[in-house]
Amino acid sequence: MSDSKDSDFSDLFRRLVQPANQTIQPEDDNTIKKIFDERIKDLGITINNAVELIGIEHKSLIPILDGTAKRVDLVNAIKLSHFLGLTIEDFAALYTGQLEASVIGQIERAKKGSYLSTSLDLKGLKSENFVKNINSVESIEERVNTFFGLNSIYDYSDIGVKSAFSRSKRDSNALMREFWVKSASIQFRNISNPYEYDRQELIELLPKIRPYTQDIETGLLTVIKALYRIGVTVIYQPYLKAIQVRGATMVINGKPCIVLTDYLNRYTTLWHTLIHELHHVLYDLEEIQKRQVHLSGQPDLFLVNENKADEFARQYLFSIERSKQILPFINDEVVVKRFTDSAQVHPSFAYAYYLYDLTQMGYANAWGNKLAKKIPVCQASLSLLNTRAFEKDTLKESIEYLKRVVFNV
């Protein structure tokens, strides 16, 4: 008699573990209870037998089967999924599908919270006053969706430039860089410059740009309008302390696009950045197009011309030779003005590059020199370019302003 019982048990155990090497493909109308009922029917056992075989308490099993369990122990989930011949992923999908709406909502909220915390630097965005409450999933979701014009918060991952941010683990600075670049790329895509980029026209335009540095209020805007008409789109976005990006060159819709910032809040740096980025447009565009974006001020292993771009901007605006010539007279404002007029640049460039050269020679406090006060800040030049994008409810507001006021389209 004992041998007969042992044989029956061995046969049942064989039938029980056999499906574990297979997986059931869940159907649309499947539920855990339906699969469970079919399983014990196939095995010819009762629910009480199953409880003993699985090693799960009856009071724990029933709420899982009917979807009323508030929490499911992971070990129990693994045991039950094995008994049912399901992968743990399919078990989880079936289980969440049969939960009450309120519980599903809690799970979705947790999912969104996890997504937001890994896709955005919430503390950084709060410090920039982009979001107000980093503890509210709902308010962050609404802010990001409204700002970028998204139907779903998960669409944030699909915005704009992806290749530059392909690392699986990203620190807070990388997340802020990504946010900054996504914002710029949306603006460029929606501005959608209709003019074809012509490299030869840019080469011909460059010598004509320098005199416009003398007009603090409208010179930069005039140059940006001219660049737009040869296929180069230039916008301004605020400098974010966390990422230290002074400017960027992107390729959007096959055309070069430049982002300026108010890095250091110096008028001269604004122009230096523009010419620096134009060097990238002229000489690095093919490499940038492969990766869609280059951020100036950030390490870039792919572009070897960062120093050349700086040298180009320096030589173009106020060369080292000119700095040497004016050096003996740098404290004579009248002589500096006459000299920079002949060079067709604003006098502040003589002072800015003089102070820069001092820092290169090891004078740590060079920018504390009284001559630094002769360098204007950025505000006047940016007054018509600054849409205060990150303060707006939507990027669409900034885009419409730029199209109407800056690019006249």
Question: Which residue's structure tokens are 């603090």?
Answer: 216
Q: What span, in angstroms and rounded, lies between the C-alpha atoms of 309 and 274?
A: 10
Q: Residue 370: which domain range?
A: 319-376
Q: State the total domains in the chain.
A: 4
Query: Is 188 within the bounds of a domain?
Result: no
AA letter at 194? P
The pair of structure tokens assigned to 51 is 């409880």
Are both 250 and 337 inside the same structural domain? no
One domain for residues 398 and 345: no
For the segment 211-231, the average pLDDT, to the nearest whole number, is: 97
- Which of the residue ranges 44-58, 267-281, 301-315 would you say has the lowest mean pLDDT? 301-315
pLDDT on residue 169? 53
Residue type, 216: I
Residues 114, 258: one domain?
Answer: no
176, part of any domain: no
Residue 177 in any domain: the answer is no
Q: Both 347 and 237 in a single domain?
A: no
Instruction: Specify whether 217 is located in the same domain as 351.
Output: no
Question: Is the same domain home to 88 and 237?
Answer: no
Q: Average of pLDDT values for 274-283?
A: 96
pLDDT of residue 23: 44
pLDDT recorded at residue 57: 93
Q: Is residue 265 part of a domain?
A: yes
In terms of pLDDT, which residue wins out, 127 or 162?
127
Helix 88-97 and helix 32-43, axial crossing angle in degrees, nearest 10 = 120
Which of 9 and 161 is assigned the larger pLDDT?
Answer: 161
Provide the CB-side half-sphere exposure for 187 (13 A, CA).
32
- According to the model, what pLDDT value does residue 165 have? 52
Based on the domain organization, do 110 and 72 belong to the same domain? no
Domain at 15, CATH number: 1.10.260
Q: How far apart are CA 142 and CA 111, in angstroms?
A: 15
**Which whole number is the average pLDDT over 357-385?**
94
* Residue percentage of the chain with pLDDT more than 70: 89
> CB–CB of 22/82 below 8 Å?
no
β 255-260/233-236 pair status:
parallel
Q: Is 68 found in the same domain as 17?
A: yes
Q: Are residues 281 and 248 in the same domain?
A: yes
Q: Please check whether residue 166 lies inside any domain of the structure.
A: no
Same domain membership, residue 311 and residue 267: yes
Same domain, residue pair 58 and 17: yes
Per-residue pLDDT for 362 more than 90?
A: yes
pLDDT tens string 130-188: 999 999 999 999 999 999 999 999 999 999 765 455 454 568 889 999 999 999 999 99
Whether residue 409 is contained in a domain is answered as yes
The verdict on 409 and 288 lying in the same domain is: yes
Judge whether 184 lies within some domain: no
Q: Secondary structure of the chain: what % helix, strand, coil (to 5)?
A: 65, 5, 30
293 is a domain residue: yes
Residue 269 confidence (pLDDT) above 90? yes
State mean pLDDT over 297-301.
64
157 or 2, which is more confident? 157
